[in-house]
Structure 1
Amino acid sequence: MPCPHPYEPAVRAAYRNEMNAARLAADGASRWRHLERAHILSQPWPWPHTRNHVAMFVLAVAQRDRREALGQAVRIIVAAPGSAAGR
């Protein structure tokens, strides 16, 4: 099922900015904050939404946060279909 909303250039740019800021952030708390913002922006679009959860999973593993890593693993599986279905 195709995404019902076009991925507007301004939203795409804001998403990329947040993802880049997360990569460049000096500490874990800042990384999470940028990833959370990117998550909000990416929710209607399957692939950016899934990429965001992958980045969150990678950060959780790097921080040795098993609970968060498990939660993100589940979200990776449901993110694309959920976004495509509009949920």
Structure 2
Amino acid sequence: MNPILKEAFETEMHHAKESYRSQDWEKSFLHLERAHILGQRDAVPHTINHWWMLKVGVRNKDHTEVLGQIVRIAVAGIGSILGRAPMGNTGGANVGILTPMPIPEDLKKIFIRAGLPAG
């Protein structure tokens, strides 16, 4: 994983886990969505991110999210390896697996600093 993306991904995951421990599921999921945008090009971070999304879905008793994340965990690594992860996709069950989405401006700057396409 690109070191600049890795640092940003790990920061978002750190915030997500802190919020998870505080039982702030909404804030945790927001950080997981941001981490997903940053990490979806790499199989391991991508899959770890979906595991945490699944955990939040379980805590929220959100059956749609749980099922959606189980499916995503099964295909996340493959999509990353094949380069099929859609830019900007936030990774939640509320969006299509292959749906590209706009990248938030602050995350675009991270991609640009990393010398990677940002949209």
By the TM > 0.5 criterion, same fold? Answer: yes
User: Aligned pairs, how many?
Assistant: 81
**Aligned-residue CA RMSD in angstroms?**
0.8
After superposition, where does 1:1-87 map in structure 2 within 5 Å? 7-25=1-19, 26=22, 27-87=24-84
Greater relative contact order (CA < 8 Å, ≥ 6 in sequence) = 1
Gap regions ≥5 residues in structure 2? 85-119
Query: How many angstroms apart in 1 are the aligned matches of 2:60 and 2:26?
Result: 11
Matched letter for residue 77 of structure 1: A
Query: How many angstroms apart in 1 are the aligned matches of 2:14 and 2:40?
Result: 17
In the TM superposition, structure 1's runs of 4+ consecutive aligned residues that sit over 3 Å from their partners are: none
Q: TM-score, normalised by structure 2?
A: 0.66
Q: Percent identity?
A: 44
Once the 2 structures are TM-superposed, how far is the Cα of residue 35 of structure 1 from its aligned partner? 0.1
Greater helix share, structure number: 1
